[in-house]
Amino acid sequence: MKSPRFILIAIASILVLGPLLWLYVIRPPLARSERWEGVIVERFEKAHGGNFKYHTYHWRVECEDGATRSVDVDTALYTSVRVGDRVCKLKGDRYPRPVGRSGLNLLEEQMGDEFPDRLRHLVPVEE
């Protein structure tokens, strides 16, 4: 029979690793298969950690189908839009994009394949 210490370690490992697996391994592929459009109704950030503080950034989006989604986004995308802006999450993308045309659209057209992938999610979707 397994010792109580082993069982305690196994349960603690599941409690710690389970949410991390969900956030970084299971959920991103599921999110990539979705497609939706909506309007940002709220922006908020959450502070995490004790001595090692970090922030996560989120939007609350009211979708065209009536559903409300809470979407986690990176810092650059969070600061590039405001409440009331339209966003569109395309199938295959990790993050939603602002809807409309901006200078980044022109820059992406001019640079072609040279456009940095790390900035591609900031390029608005044209209406």
Q: Which tens digits make up the pLDDT trace of 56-75?
A: 899 999 999 899 999 888 88
Q: 74 and 43, same structural domain?
A: yes
**What does the pLDDT average to over 88-93?**
85
127 located within any domain: no
pTM value > 0.85: no
Query: What mean pLDDT do residues 73-79 have?
Result: 84
Residue 81 lies in a domain: yes
CATH number for the domain including 60? 2.40.50.660
Cα(5)–Cα(67) distance, integer angstroms:
45
Of the two residues 102 and 13, the one the predictor is more confident about is 13
Provide φ and ψ at 20, rounded to 5°: -65, -40
Residues 71 and 28 in one domain: no
